[in-house]
Structure 1
């Protein structure tokens, strides 16, 4: 249902603005310019002989997407460029293709994860589509080139999870891989991108989709056993892949598949009153719900999500305006995820009647 012109609410916009201020006040280290990984210094990790007090790349991926969504509803926000600049501390030009490492390279060079780079590529290409700035197209192209180094014919195709680790192929590196390839096709109309997107898409459906239409976490190379954890973000990337494929091809089978994933995920993830997994994971599924709304006008997916969001806003927020994760931590990735969720709901409340929020 489209929003009634007389219905006015800025509830989620206000929550978004407050959370963004809280993140900047509590996580952004004004001395180094980096973001802290965790609010509590005693919970910051030590690895490879270095205390890793600053953000992992994953959390900056969350902030990159969240600030992109804020700029969509506030054209004067000007936030994306600073996050992009911050991410360059993680840039690792090592062969076979340049990419971004898991941590600040000069402090503690570590692993390169294909999914982290794909999240950056998805957001970069979205910014390019929104602004036309070539820097972000080049970023997306670079992330595509890096992720394709994860491709081989083992188990019939698919992409590995992280560089030089050949133990599993995961939905979390294949679902977003489909999206990067599809967004490159949209930007260039070069057939190779669509072909590779479909190869990854078909492999993921074949190897990792559950009988109900959701997605398992991974398949092990050694014995083909399935890691059967089911997370919201994996459903989200494959849901949105189907929406993009419907847009690109006009084939209704993709829209039917998107609706099936949406229905199954609504029951599984939002059948109760609380989020089943972390805010950032849920934010990726919300991307799929919001995109699907262009073709399926039923607000039930958004409203089911909203029920859990409103409960989190009521029960999980502390006096600093920050949120406590399931393990009791106050980490940046979950705050970036919640910030994206609130920015998306700020858009939704401007365009649809979502009812009241308590």
Structure 2
């Protein structure tokens, strides 16, 4: 996973040989040296190599490699590698395996219900965020569906157990943001991906367990809609448990994951009400756009709205959602090309959304998503 060696450091004999070829047969040289330009997604993903720590097999927060990245970014990075492996299995699937091994540094097996700590841990930690872990469930399920490797499904189930342990009956239900109840909050950013995890995990469970998972997912959706959906269809950030005060801040990723829950429910039940709600929410998401039609939130949030738009396009074939996703992807890529962000999470978010866009042009990736979007085993 090392960045390609600069041309100036390559074997000088190779350079001499190419010079001789140029004199003898310029056309032959061009044919042998011309390489297709990497795709936008590949270009940004290659950039991420500079954050990689070979020894620890994890990504670092910045290119100076002083500090490991947080597990939230780890979920985005892993999902980027999963998406990249759909296009280049030979290169990126081994990288997935290395990173999955490296992520064990964050896994805390010494507590009653294991889960991922925000940073590498010696175990017996109590600083876990339920939303961080919910993202890991979704990316591991995607990895399992893509590779068939049982380790990903096993870890998805283990992590999901931790996420659901954050549910209690205060305020009528909902999953806490943090295991020690930091910030006194239950947030959309954990309940939405937790519900989607229930739905997607049901596909790989025995019938009795699948029924329970789907029921739990519906319960989480109902609580989130009742508690945190605003009148316009978008989803607010969180509710303070001790006071019942709601933060009306709206971020793209909150709405994005709930939108995907409605799409899954429509696929599973064929109830048009779920599709109608998905469309209502998706239309309301126009308010997240700036004057250029680009999602205004930071990439670490808005790339998940792009993912929801692409899923909406797969589900409805409505070009409106695809064009909305394309505008944001292009803006994010152009910004990256001009000046990459210093933190790995922003660059990984850009790479992930670009791969999802490229999936639409790959027959193999199209087949993958046709199967993945099907809520039942094929």
Tell me the TM-score normalized by structure 2: 0.80
CA pair 287-13 structure 1, distance change in 2 beyond 3 A: farther
Shift of 1:261: 1.3
The one of 223, 228, 241 aligned to 1:208: 228
Separation (CA, whole Å) in 2 of partners of 1:137 and 1:34: 21
RMSD: 2.3
When you count helix as a share of all residues, which structure comes out higher? 2
CA contact 1:283–1:338 (8 Å) conserved in 2: yes
Match of residue 130 from structure 1: 146
Residue in 2 that maps onto 1:218: 238
- Contact persistence 1:159–1:173 (CA under 8 A): yes
Compared CA separation, residues 163 and 107, structure 1 to 2 (3 A) = closer
Q: Compute the displacement of 1:71 (Å).
A: 1.6
Equivalent residue number for residue 82 of structure 1: 98
> Could you say what secondary structure the match of 1:96 adopts?
coil
Cα shift at 1:109? 5.6
Q: 1:92 to 1:239 in 2, by over 3 A?
A: same
Matches of 1:83 and 1:33, distance apart in 2: 6
Partner of 2:129: 113
8 Å CA contact retained: 1:151, 1:159: yes
Structure 2 match to 1:3: none
Higher relative contact order (CA 8 A, sep 6+): 1
Over 3 Å counting, the alpha-carbon distance change for 1:13 and 1:266 in structure 2 is farther
User: Highest CA radius of gyration, 1 or 2?
Assistant: 2
Q: Distance in 2 between matches of 1:339 and 1:90?
A: 23
1:271 deviates by 5.4
Using the alignment, how far apart are the partners of 1:171 and 1:299 within structure 2? 28
- Indicate the residue corresponding to 1:50 in structure 2: none
| 2:195 aligned with 1:171 | no
Q: Which residue of 2 aligns with 1:323?
A: 340
In the other structure, the counterpart of 1:153 is: 169
Q: Deviations over 1:205-252 (max 9, x none)?
A: 001011111111000011111112111111111011111111112211
Match of 1:344, SS? helix
Query: Deviation at 1:313?
Result: 2.3
Give the alignment of 1:223-302 within 5 angstroms. 223-269=243-289, 272-302=292-322
Q: 5 Å matches for 1:25-40?
A: 26-39=50-63
Per-residue CA deviation, residues 132-189 of structure 1 (Å, 9 max, x unaligned), is 2221111111111101110100000010001111610000010001011111212224
Instruction: Identify the residue that residue 346 of structure 1 maps to in structure 2.
Output: 358
1:273, CA displacement in angstroms?
4.2
4+ residue runs over 4 A deviation: 107-110
Taking a change above 3 Å as real, the CA distance of residues 61 and 302 of structure 1, as seen in their structure-2 partners, is same
Question: Does residue 56 in structure 1 map to residue 70 in structure 2?
Answer: yes
User: What are the ranges of 5 or more consecutive residues in structure 2 without an aligned counterpart?
Assistant: 1-35, 364-378
1: CA distance, partners of 2:130 / 2:69:
18
Residues 4-49 of structure 1: CA distance to partner in whole angstroms, max 9, x if unpaired?
xxxxxxx99611111111110x2112344332212367xx7xxxxx
> Which range moved further: 261-270 or 155-164?
261-270
Task: Describe the shift of the 1:314–1:336 C-alpha distance in structure 2 as closer, same or farther (beyond 3 A).
Answer: closer
Please name the residue that 1:313 is paired with.
333
